[in-house]
Amino acid sequence: MRKAITALLIVLLLVGPTYAWNDLGHKIVAAVAWRQLNNNERDRVIALLKNHPRFAEDFKAKMPAAVANGTLAAHNEWLIQQAAIWPDIARGILPETVRENFHRPTWHYINKPLFLVPADEATLHGDDELNLKLDPPAVERRDMNVVQTIRLARRTLGSMEAAKQKALMLSWLTHSVGDLHQPMHSTAFFTKNLFPAGDRGGNLIRTEQRFNLHSLWDSFPGSGGPGATTFREARNFSFVMTNDDEFKTLGTAAAGDLNEETWLAESFELAKNVAYGPEILGPLRIFEADNDPEYPPIKLSEDYLEAGGSAVDRRLIQAGYRLGAILKKVAVDNP
């Protein structure tokens, strides 16, 4: 079953546009989480989400007719999937004065440093510049990282905060759990010549597939179709994943560890050992030695793509089960 899913993900990788941990990836995480909730828990989560300050514009108005005219169950699952992509939708809100109220660029990632040469660690960055703090500040800040964002969202959703703020942070929670499970959202790669300020999570490493390393990993879940098509694809993926014994075992174990520091460590290890594996580091060592910023795009093998697809399968299911466990708590705290 896992081989079949991985093969499908690789095929999907080769077609269509992608976005940060793309729409389909985020929606799969939300759909897997949705499968973990009972009907009462689902109703409570959706009731809270409907207080979102952009619910009319970015949820209700964008629901495809095929979903809006369908069952209430499909209607509500579409809403939680939409919540999972809303922080990316916020990037394009107009006018800009309104966008500034919602768009938070740094909330999607954390730049835990990885070095080509260990000796460079002392000279290439400062921790204060990277914001590697895990606990959120007392009040929301625009420069928080993804771990701080998840922790702030969980704190807010368990508090007496206003319903609109809770609904807003519910969207960020649903999105950010997925982001933290994406290895390239956990890491920045440093070298003395090519990337002295970091590679922006792989965005500056050119590859033949998907233009750069970050985009490649963002696109492993596939691109998905428009509107209701992506919704159905994510729902169908979640049914397959949550009914596969191996994935179910993996997801259940993951839900037993809701410490975001663990999730970060897992993503960083995947980045170090798989994403920045020999097929990336080998060419980069040559380009770094030549101090060649105009190096050609790196062509990655089918083995690399299969390994990446397999890793992403696992991260999607882990993220979905963990999000589901947190949403169960949200439902209890918001009757």
- Categorize the per-residue pLDDT at 6 as very low, low, confident or very high, splitting at 50, 70 and 90: very low
Q: What is the pLDDT of residue 225?
A: 65
In the chain, the domains with their CATH numbers are 2-107+146-182+215-278+302-333 (1.10.575.10)
> Does residue 328 carry a pLDDT above 80?
yes
User: H-type helices in 158-244, by residue range?
Assistant: 163-180, 213-218, 228-242
Which residue, 228, 99, 74, 201, is CA-closest to 146? 201
- Output the CA torsion 254→258→264→270 (10° steps): 0
Q: Where residue 125 falls among pLDDT bands split at 50, 70, 90? A: low
Average pLDDT across the chain, whole number: 91
Tell me: pLDDT of 207 over 60: yes
pLDDT digits (tens, 9 = 90+) for 164-193: 999 999 999 999 999 999 999 999 999 999
- pLDDT per residue as tens digits for the range 10-49: 333 333 333 346 899 999 999 999 999 999 999 999 999 9
Q: Determine the average pLDDT of the residues in 47-70.
A: 96
CB atoms within 10 A of CB 135: 11
The contacts of residue 205 (CB under 8 Å, 6+ apart) are: 189, 199, 212, 213, 214, 280, 284, 298
The overall pTM is greater than 0.75: yes
Share of the chain above pLDDT 90, in %: 84
pLDDT at 13: 36
Planar angle of CA 264, 269, 272, nearest 5 degrees: 125
Tens-digit pLDDT profile for residues 217-239: 999 987 666 677 789 999 999 99
Neighbours of 113 (CB within 10 A): 17
